[in-house]
Amino acid sequence: MKFRSFIRPLAIAAGLVLVLGLGLLGRLTLNTPMYLIERGGQAQPLALQFVPKQATLVASVLVRPDRLATLWEYLAAPRLRQEVRRDQERIEQLLLANTGLSYSRDIQPWLGEEVTAALVTPDLDYDPSNGTTPGYLVALVCNDSAAAQAALELYWQNRAIAGDALTFEDFSGNRLIYARRGSQPFPGDATAQLATALVANRYLLAANDPNVLRQALTAAQSNDLNLQGDRRYKTALRELPPPRVGLLALNLPALNQWLYPDEDAAVALGQMGATDDEVGWGLMSWQLTRQGLLGHTALLAAQGHRLHPQRAGANDWAAIAPYLPESLAVAAVGSDLATLSQNLKPLLALVPRETGASPLGSLIDGALGAGATELLQAGVDRAYGVGLATTEVGAADWLVVAPRSDRLSASLEAITTLAQAQGLGVGALDLRGTPAIAWTRLSLPQRGAQPLQVVAEVAGLYAQVDQYEVLAAAPTTLAAVMDMGAAGARPSWWQQVSELPGPSSGYIHIDWPQIQTRLVAQLPQARLWAAAAQPALNHLQQITLVSGDRTDAMQTGSILVQLSNQ
């Protein structure tokens, strides 16, 4: 059960949406920018006609970016507005570096209400022997084609003056212009050729290789080739409510190939799971709130696969929430611990394969013996709460909370027997007046000095706290649960749950500042986006995911992203 797994695509989504949505600067005088929260932007992107339907990742901002920047500054506390402006300026500088362009001077005057960016392919030539060169496409909708044409001509004139040899090519009735970029390559490609085309006096297309533009123009000629006419897109969009300011489309198998280009495709897909419960494509619709962003998701079953239907109910997880410490980096509540990993399976392929990955199941099995997780899942047959915490020394800290039952008691006895078979000792102790059982491993550290000292390492422990059984990796975590239960207070993030629509089959909460650095370090391909998004990501605080209804063809849900601007 890899709780960090769903963070991976969410990290990329945050980078794309926040870079485009909060990053590009401009100053539009609006008396009431709050209308974006109430009404959102245009209903759906128009530029998807240029995006091949097999594209890996597609992000569309459905309102002019400077309007979002104005709203974000409007909502910020007065003491933070100068910092917000500086962050916006840094993002603009990163995105437009070495172009000689200014957003407010050269782009805003003609830009319409849409910016679409796509990772069209993880590798342009599909030749792993020469490394990977992703293909990127950006489509800008033009409100003033003459001004857009003038800005484009000025850009290429400056490139020619700088000594770049320009190439002009007619393709499908459109003029392509491109030149090899010498000093600053397009993100992710040291030999990239920036290419542009103004199409139908309505769309300005830019790519890091002319082949990407050729693919985009070819895709626009047939609904069978582009994402706008794709059945998956149309099916998912019908399930996502308005208003919205952005859309994010994810092709999960292709995304996995981009993140792990050296991994055999068959092996990668095999790690996603068995025949059923495999998702291959998803769409997220984003709307604005006063606190940040609210996303609605629709994940579609992979071709030739089906999902196990599940109807979201009105379960009362509010009773278990007070036993989840505030300090957890990741926390989850649900009703079926055994199927938690299946619910997350669409994103499990994005978990880094490096040695030392720490999914919850591996942590418990590693601490108490292979099979401990399976025994625990068999005993937790009702509501549950689980969590992972980060520690200064890098050790993994896990937590499981579940209502007391005869079935769970039998599982705990079986886990104790298993632990003893692994050479662990079992002992009773008093933790702040509460009886607890600890599984310990004795060792005799090699030291030069005498006397020798036997050291007891805690592998795990559990105790009855009120009507719950609590298992934890460390005494400090168990003590934190006791403190929370005694106070009867829910963690501060629980308030977000009431803002999410409809019934749910489970919640997952992420404390972004705790996992951000580790996440970016594990995803090299995402670092370029993260670098551009960093000023915006610094404001990202909390993420809460909600699992909704699931049919045999689709899984729905919601994502609440809390940003700090107060």
What tens-digit pLDDT sequence spans the chain (566 residues)?
333 333 344 344 444 444 444 433 333 333 568 899 989 999 999 999 999 999 999 999 999 999 998 898 888 888 888 888 888 888 888 778 777 888 999 999 999 999 999 999 988 887 777 777 889 999 999 999 999 999 999 899 988 998 889 999 999 999 999 986 544 444 444 335 789 999 999 999 999 999 999 999 999 999 999 999 999 999 999 999 999 999 999 998 888 777 766 655 444 444 443 345 678 999 999 999 988 899 999 999 988 888 888 877 767 788 899 999 988 888 889 888 877 765 554 434 334 444 334 467 778 888 899 999 899 999 998 889 998 887 655 566 899 999 999 999 999 999 999 999 989 999 999 998 899 999 998 877 766 556 677 778 889 999 999 999 999 999 999 999 998 877 878 888 888 777 676 778 888 888 888 877 666 665 555 555 556 566 667 788 888 888 888 899 998 999 999 888 65
Strand, helix or coil for residue 433: coil
AA letter at 115: V
Q: Are residues 322 and 415 in the same domain?
A: yes
For the beta carbon of residue 531, count every other beta carbon within 10 angstroms: 15
Strand, helix or coil for residue 116: strand
Question: What pLDDT, on a 0 to 100 scale, did the predictor assign at position 277?
Answer: 66
- Among candidates 273, 276, 282, which has minimal Cα distance to 300? 282
Tell me the whole-structure pTM to 2 decimals.
0.83
Q: Are residues 348 and 490 in the same domain?
A: yes
Please check whether residue 559 is in contact with residue 544, taking contact to mean a CB–CB distance below 8 angstroms.
yes
Q: Are residues 274 and 323 in the same domain?
A: no
Which residue has tokens 């990993």? 341
Q: Are residues 235 and 281 in the same domain?
A: yes
Q: Are residues 267 and 330 in the same domain?
A: no
Which residue has tokens 């999914």? 359
Please check whether residue 145 lies inside any domain of the structure.
yes
CA–CA gap between residue 420 and residue 488 (Å, rounded)? 35
Please check whether residue 543 is in contact with residue 512, taking contact to mean a CB–CB distance below 8 angstroms.
yes
Q: Are residues 35 and 156 in the same domain?
A: yes
CA–CA gap between residue 231 and residue 242 (Å, rounded)? 20
* φ and ψ at residue 140, rounded to 5 degrees: -115, 130
Residue span of the structural domain in which 476 resides: 315-502
What radius of gyration do the chain's Cα atoms show?
Answer: 26
Which residue has tokens 């005088």? 29
Residues recorded for the chain: 566
Question: What pLDDT, on a 0 to 100 scale, did the predictor assign at position 7?
Answer: 38
Question: What pLDDT, on a 0 to 100 scale, did the predictor assign at position 263?
Answer: 58
AA letter at 53: K
Please check whether residue 294 lies inside any domain of the structure.
no
Pairing mode of beta strands 540-550, 292-301: unpaired
Q: Are residues 154 and 64 in the same domain?
A: yes
Q: Are residues 319 and 236 in the same domain?
A: no
Please check whether residue 389 is in contact with residue 327, taking contact to mean a CB–CB distance below 8 angstroms.
yes
Q: Are residues 363 and 487 in the same domain?
A: yes
Please check whether residue 539 lies inside any domain of the structure.
no
Q: Are residues 330 and 271 in the same domain?
A: no
Q: Are residues 390 and 329 in the same domain?
A: yes
Task: Specify the number of domains making up the chain.
Answer: 2
Q: Are residues 252 and 321 in the same domain?
A: no
* φ and ψ at residue 306, rounded to 5 degrees: -140, 160
AA letter at 546: V
